[in-house]
Structure 1
């Protein structure tokens, strides 16, 4: 067989399918085991997430409360100064200074939207209805900024009723000249209308606020704004500050110094800046972990590997608490989707009813659990037979085991907090600085068998008296607040330790007084060479056979007692029977959804479009190219057949051959390429270049260079 064209050789003589075979992964949830209670699983999952969502909203509200209060106070102060025409506002009018809040939110940019939404809602309810949120992508020029600003402000005030009542307001925003003068005229008209409203007349949302409410302009991503746009807006606004009570809020992700980096002194001097700092995203994450995982309020738990995946994504990728919460939500959905026994992941009040309603198939699912198999192997032969054959007996045991699991969590959390209090202040933090790190270590293995734990105990045995007393006091508070009856004796023992430390302080005070008296008497003795040598020998002898003081003995006793609590209550969760019911521990599924693999996804989409488009016409055999596929898929498959440099002419001929294959052999053998096919080819090649698969080559003008190699 002979060929007259490189393209035909490229297209006809295909390489071995083994070289082109790639694993085509599709994004899917974990394997689902059929269960008859899918509706109950869905209802349980939905109820659990609703409870968690309410808790998260409360956490967000509590964390932002101080920040929102400070911002509200700042805006009210600026508002009252403008309204009363105070001396400070008069000074600002003369110097043309604009009140500005520099809001440092941190690098977790994906969480900023939620924060600004909360700020906007609170300020609209309590301070002013005139709030505009501006983003850099919508404000490429000063004209775009003014259009966005005026559009949002007028939408804040004008509602359906006012549009129907007043003909002069029925002017589209496009016809309004977007300038600061127009904004001043609009604001004066709005405030006059609000002040002249009668109580009987229906009012708009602005009537709930004071007269002359300030206009708040929020720059959500200040670093992304063009310097020229910011400068022009600030200069123009400062010239109208005596007519318009304007307040700016800059959302800053890096540092407040960015204001002076972006703006020259002549512009930044027009701003009266006050700094506001939001809570650290790490502290926010610690609060979320504490409220969601280290509690018995919610039955669902995360395994060590899954929790580590979520924390690593947070620490090494985005610092986004919202993405952590989304990952947590994905774990809940996946657990209730793939685990048929997740119907037992519910509140303890519902456990008995759901266990009694288990079907025979679900009882078999219980018997297949690895932790339950280990439990059966540890029973006597009679109980083993009953557990494997009698469903009623199995249900009784399952109910007891779930109650034991709940008790395990009730005991685990206070002891974990107690151990964290003891070790979080040690040098170099052998067991981690955050409680989530210690929690992961306890879930992974028996923490008392690790080198880090031994190192922590050695350091704890060298704590001074004040630190140790402080640790004991915090532990007492933890156990008392847990309200677990099993720890009543523990609380009494810790209080007894505290009493002994107090007695030691009193005894030491008396001892110091006696030593001072005896030392004065010793000074009166004759200090000859004999007495000096005798004292030196006594000192050497005491060093050789050093005896522990009462404090050291008591300190050892305290540390050993806490060590006993750790060994009794901090066993790993996977050692507990039926832990699979409440723990999700499938990190591979989580990584598949959260850790992006764009190259594999792109190759799968371009090499096998049926995987995503689900069109039966796009199905093709291994190594073949369907003419029904999108143009970019055809071009991509053809470029896989080429080497480092690709001849565009040959590539176009091969593309034309594939596209016109359905029209018959006459069309395929035509020497001329249709203009439409030529245009489709150019567009597909441009898209491939945009995706980064090829680039123009300087070696040959009619060639492109391939940037990737291999199947994916």
Structure 2
């Protein structure tokens, strides 16, 4: 039967046609390949490298997430196991191990980084299912608007059966504490208790080898039922109260346990639940790791390392950090921004085929096509490198492809050596300056890193202030800071860093020798010094003479051995900074690894809906691409959509807009669009159709937030915005 025959029917119906599968979304690989359609092979290779790098980012961040959350998750597991062990007795005696009708509850304060909560709670759910109980349920506020919906989600995810809700019995179910719906198949707490008993009884009856297939190998005979409320603040307080009251009546039959995911403060529980309800919970507080500490660890492990070839420029890193600090505090979204930067880099930069591990990059450099060689010659950093060479070398680099490939291999090696020395010196400088008063170079290493990416840090006034403060440190403080620098440099395998570490150790040993020889080096106290003469009786002339001698002696005073050694070691640190913290932009072929298009990243991540809406209303041609809508700047075509005409007219009004005048102006513009004669009687006349179109356009403007109704005048609306695109 053909398609026309199957759908031609007198009666109305709903017909579903499965997609043919021919229309598929364009993959990322095709997206990258289409950036340079003339070089398909290059695009495929870049896509493969991009996939590997993203896989490394994803794997490292997940491992880092588990490592950072290990402490809090272990504490929650210990809490769950403690209460689970109290349930391992006869069902009738469960209440004897708890205060009457109390439900053990873990209040997990996760912080305001709400997008990251799902990852943490999912890890917790997986750990609980693998080591404590298989009965773990997670619910969200958006799916539990009413009590019946909350209980429905809990029952469905516990029992693994579909449960329907009849809207006609909603009022009846709201008055029932023990059953959500009478017509549904045994959807009540009693049924849930019976189901739990049957499952645990079946589990206890099977052999130990078969237990692994029923539950899990480490499950206890009476495992608890854990309900995780992912976003406690989003739940309706009344729904939550009723659910807790219902569950408290079944603590003797069902071992329940709650976990509250809290974004703000533990006081939220007291604000949402009255004392009569909160007293039914045995609450223990857990605090997760700060999101700023999490971000610092992610940046330290992913960006501040030479093992990861992809790099961010200072402005791009500032965009990502600014979104984190001023929008959502979400490390997960920060990683998504990093993924977007990675994708944009491999899409826009054809030479990103060299942004990979050392061996693969050198092999790719040997097999570069003539087109890629020309791209290398056009790089600003490579052009500066060519200009710095001898004339004969310049000719060869501009004419010989093989010479460019050989030079490219050398420059790629130099770029990796640069990164190997860059990050240890950066950490060394941060360890010295992070504890100084007022943090002249920043408290976090990311602040110092951004400064080093944007300009030569030793040329800044902040660096001069930091050096002055370091020259005022006492010996113990300075030796402790130098020891931290030595520990940082020792972890680096680069030869230059090994030598620098050895040099710092020698300085530390010299400081220690000053202590042992300080007693012998002290000269005898000069009792005839000007300072001592002040203690004797004298007249005004001798007092003035003595003060002048003291001032002169201070000018010509020699530095102590400690001051000399301190200046020497700080000069050594400054030489390391000037040598190894040069700008990445000064390194040849830095464009291969560094993504610097901060405007592209900001455009994708920093949404500006108001500007986009105003642009669409003022210049509809930009979106509709209709030639009839092309107009001069500041005008709107009479053929534009109604909302564009109404928006343009409202820009000409003041704070209060008279609806009748607005309607007449709209009707005049629409009449011109219809081609009516301006001299005719119907020109500008308001009919029912125009009136309806006008009301709809005004309603849309009100929905978008441009106007609102006002009580000052009944036939007016108030304007909420000023200016336009």
- For normalisation by structure 1, the TM-score amounts to 0.82
Asked if 2 retains the 8 angstrom alpha-carbon contact of 1:646 and 1:706, the reply is no
CA distance change for structure 1 residues 235 and 704 in 2, over 3 Å: closer, same or farther?
same
1:453 Cα shift?
0.5
Please list every run of 5 or more consecutive structure 1 residues that lacks an aligned counterpart in the other structure.
1-27, 159-171, 524-528
CA–CA distance in structure 1, aligned partners of residues 589 and 103 of structure 2? 62
Structure 2 counterpart SS, 1:175: coil
1:454 paired with 2:467, answer no
1:192 paired with 2:208, answer no
**CA offsets, 1:329-366, max 9 Å, x none?**
11111111111111111111112221122222222211
1:226 Cα shift?
2.5
CA distance change for structure 1 residues 88 and 633 in 2, over 3 Å: closer, same or farther?
farther
CA distance change for structure 1 residues 48 and 652 in 2, over 3 Å: closer, same or farther?
same
Correspondence for 1:23: none
Summarize the alignment of residues 365-444 of structure 1 with structure 2, pairs less than 5 Å apart. 365-444=375-454
1:319 paired with 2:329, answer yes
Q: 2:637 aligns with which of 605, 610, 624?
A: 624
CA distance change for structure 1 residues 383 and 235 in 2, over 3 Å: closer, same or farther?
same
1:406 Cα shift?
0.8
User: CA RMSD, aligned part only?
Assistant: 3.8
CA distance change for structure 1 residues 530 and 338 in 2, over 3 Å: closer, same or farther?
closer
**CA offsets, 1:600-638, max 9 Å, x none?**
2223445566766x7x779743333558x6x75676567
1:547 paired with 2:558, answer yes
More displaced stretch, 701-710 vs 253-262: 701-710
Q: 1:688 aligns with which of 698, 701, 705?
A: 701
**CA offsets, 1:653-682, max 9 Å, x none?**
5798699889xxx9x98989567x876665
Q: 2:191 aligns with which of 182, 194, 200?
A: 182
**CA offsets, 1:576-605, max 9 Å, x none?**
111111111111111111111111222344
Asked if 2 retains the 8 angstrom alpha-carbon contact of 1:632 and 1:687, the reply is yes
**CA offsets, 1:531-579, max 9 Å, x none?**
9649998995875654333222222222111111111111111111111
Correspondence for 1:276: 286
CA–CA distance in structure 1, aligned partners of residues 319 and 644 of structure 2? 34
Asked if 1 retains the 8 angstrom alpha-carbon contact of 2:113 and 2:328, the reply is yes
Correspondence for 1:249: 259
1:111 paired with 2:116, answer yes
1:558 paired with 2:563, answer no
Summarize the alignment of residues 692-703 of structure 1 with structure 2, pairs less than 5 Å apart. 692-698=705-711, 701-703=714-716
Structure 2 counterpart SS, 1:255: coil
CA distance change for structure 1 residues 41 and 645 in 2, over 3 Å: closer, same or farther?
farther
Correspondence for 1:12: none
CA–CA distance in structure 2, aligned partners of residues 661 and 202 of structure 1? 82
Structure 2 counterpart SS, 1:76: helix
Q: 1:585 aligns with which of 592, 596, 607?
A: 596
Asked if 2 retains the 8 angstrom alpha-carbon contact of 1:96 and 1:239, the reply is yes
More displaced stretch, 599-608 vs 486-495: 599-608
1:318 Cα shift?
1.3
CA distance change for structure 1 residues 684 and 155 in 2, over 3 Å: closer, same or farther?
farther
CA distance change for structure 1 residues 35 and 60 in 2, over 3 Å: closer, same or farther?
farther
1:121 Cα shift?
1.6
CA–CA distance in structure 1, aligned partners of residues 421 and 96 of structure 2? 62
**CA offsets, 1:481-538, max 9 Å, x none?**
1111222221221121222222223334x559x99xx99xx99xxxxx9996499989
CA distance change for structure 1 residues 503 and 642 in 2, over 3 Å: closer, same or farther?
closer
Asked if 2 retains the 8 angstrom alpha-carbon contact of 1:639 and 1:646, the reply is no
More displaced stretch, 405-414 vs 616-625: 616-625
**CA offsets, 1:35-75, max 9 Å, x none?**
61222222221221111111111111111111111111110
Structure 1 counterpart SS, 2:69: helix
1:469 Cα shift?
2.2
CA–CA distance in structure 1, aligned partners of residues 430 and 137 of structure 2? 45
- For normalisation by structure 2, the TM-score amounts to 0.81
Summarize the alignment of residues 66-145 of structure 1 with structure 2, pairs less than 5 Å apart. 66-84=71-89, 90=95, 93-145=98-150
Structure 2 counterpart SS, 1:216: strand
Asked if 1 retains the 8 angstrom alpha-carbon contact of 2:241 and 2:273, the reply is yes
Correspondence for 2:3: none
CA–CA distance in structure 2, aligned partners of residues 68 and 344 of structure 1? 41
CA–CA distance in structure 2, aligned partners of residues 327 and 530 of structure 1? 70
CA–CA distance in structure 2, aligned partners of residues 97 and 76 of structure 1? 17
Structure 1 counterpart SS, 2:298: helix
Summarize the alignment of residues 152-301 of structure 1 with structure 2, pairs less than 5 Å apart. 152-155=157-160, 175-176=184-185, 178-198=187-207, 206-208=215-217, 209-301=219-311
Asked if 2 retains the 8 angstrom alpha-carbon contact of 1:130 and 1:213, the reply is yes
Correspondence for 1:598: 609
**CA offsets, 1:313-333, max 9 Å, x none?**
111121111111111111111
Asked if 1 retains the 8 angstrom alpha-carbon contact of 2:136 and 2:228, the reply is yes
CA–CA distance in structure 2, aligned partners of residues 197 and 636 of structure 1? 73
Asked if 1 retains the 8 angstrom alpha-carbon contact of 2:46 and 2:353, the reply is yes
CA–CA distance in structure 2, aligned partners of residues 594 and 635 of structure 1? 31
Structure 2 counterpart SS, 1:418: helix
Correspondence for 2:14: none
1:452 Cα shift?
0.6
CA–CA distance in structure 1, aligned partners of residues 210 and 68 of structure 2? 39
1:106 Cα shift?
0.9
Correspondence for 2:5: none
Correspondence for 1:494: 504
**CA offsets, 1:668-709, max 9 Å, x none?**
98989567x876665554333211122224465455444344
Q: 2:50 aligns with which of 42, 45, 50?
A: 45
Asked if 2 retains the 8 angstrom alpha-carbon contact of 1:108 and 1:320, the reply is yes
Summarize the alignment of residues 9-88 of structure 1 with structure 2, pairs less than 5 Å apart. 36=39, 37-84=42-89
Correspondence for 1:335: 345
CA–CA distance in structure 2, aligned partners of residues 679 and 189 of structure 1? 63
CA distance change for structure 1 residues 303 and 175 in 2, over 3 Å: closer, same or farther?
same
CA distance change for structure 1 residues 497 and 671 in 2, over 3 Å: closer, same or farther?
closer
Structure 2 counterpart SS, 1:101: strand
Please list every run of 5 or more consecutive structure 2 residues that lacks an aligned counterpart in the other structure.
1-30, 164-180
CA distance change for structure 1 residues 611 and 84 in 2, over 3 Å: closer, same or farther?
farther
CA–CA distance in structure 2, aligned partners of residues 274 and 50 of structure 1? 38
Asked if 2 retains the 8 angstrom alpha-carbon contact of 1:157 and 1:204, the reply is no
Asked if 2 retains the 8 angstrom alpha-carbon contact of 1:472 and 1:498, the reply is yes
Structure 1 counterpart SS, 2:491: helix
